[in-house]
Amino acid sequence: MRKLFLIIFSFAATIANAQELNCSVQVITPQLQTADPKIFDDMKKTITEFMNNRKWTGDTYAQNERIECTFLISITKELAADKYQAQVTIQSNRPVFNSGYNSTLFNWVDKDWTIEYAQYQTLDFNENTVTSELSSLLAYYAYVLIGLDYDSFSPKGGTPYFAKAQNIVNLNSNAATKGWKAVDGTRNRYWLIENLMNAKYDNGRMAIYKYHREGMDKMYDDIENGRKAILSSFSLLDKMNQDNPNSMFIIIFFTAKVDEIVNIFSQAPPLEKTQTINLVSKMDAANSSKYQKILKQ
């Protein structure tokens, strides 16, 4: 389904058996003084190849369909020889129909990465077993990003890929490292995929579809109805939030969307501005001051 929508984004979509991700990787070491920098250059190359050269789905992608994403890996501590603690900022974007604009789908900082990596190491991944912590982390986010992308093009279209990410969580449930278990906190890999796979959050996943496919993609031809579809997606999110307050789903959604929402509704009629601010400020109170900017423009 996703490919059928995406092909129309380009007048010259050359069909090719390309991989799904076009991932840009950076590895920085602001707090490390002793480790050989060449190790991290090699780590960057290895991770980039792992993400971009592996076939993650059974679908055929054209080059222009690949999902743009970035991984900023900040090594914060050397735990032992070839073992590091890191926090990683992960972002993915989705093209908007008939425009040069990319809408942010995911923007998150995972502070609980433990990386074991030796120079010139190869990364392997097996869906049925844990081959390494690093390959599990990368594969987990690959499937999350792909799933979110599919959800934005078809209702709950990302379910097969979220299921794969959930399987990775289950395989790592006995890991000594943090982030894979419910007891590790309320904002981690376990809870992200739990929310995405739990039927209690189906209104949220439908909001992703409505926001992007019925909202953003329609704005070129009909800006008013496109904006109304986005506003209706907030109503779906609000219903979900009333039933399941303070979920990770809500935080993930608005972390990616806050600036975009301000830009979209700054040009809306006064009533829509007020409705938007009332809805989103209730769900995303941490950014309520940003939403107030809608009234000032």
pLDDT, tens digit (0-9, with 9 covering 90-100), for 95-104: 999 999 999 9
Cβ count near 91 (within 10 Å): 18
Band of pLDDT at residue 7, cut at 50, 70 and 90: very low
pTM: 0.93
Band of pLDDT at residue 2, cut at 50, 70 and 90: low
Band of pLDDT at residue 33, cut at 50, 70 and 90: confident
pLDDT, tens digit (0-9, with 9 covering 90-100), for 195-229: 999 999 999 999 999 999 999 999 999 999 999 99
Cβ count near 157 (within 10 Å): 21
How far is residue 197's CA from residue 92's CA, in Å, rounded to a whole number?
Answer: 19
How far is residue 180's CA from residue 51's CA, in Å, rounded to a whole number?
Answer: 20
Tokens of 43: 């780590």
pLDDT at 8: 44
pLDDT, tens digit (0-9, with 9 covering 90-100), for 260-296: 999 999 999 999 999 999 999 999 999 999 999 999 8
> What kind and span of H or E run contains 28?
strand 21-28
Q: Is residue 67 over pLDDT 50?
A: yes
Query: What's the mean per-residue pLDDT of the chain?
Result: 93
pLDDT, tens digit (0-9, with 9 covering 90-100), for 112-156: 999 999 999 999 999 999 999 999 999 999 999 999 999 999 999
pLDDT at 146: 98
Tokens of 84: 């590091």
Residue 185's region, left for phi above 0, alpha for psi from -120 to 50, else beta, is: left
Q: Is residue 1 over pLDDT 60?
A: no
How far is residue 218's CA from residue 225's CA, in Å, rounded to a whole number?
Answer: 8
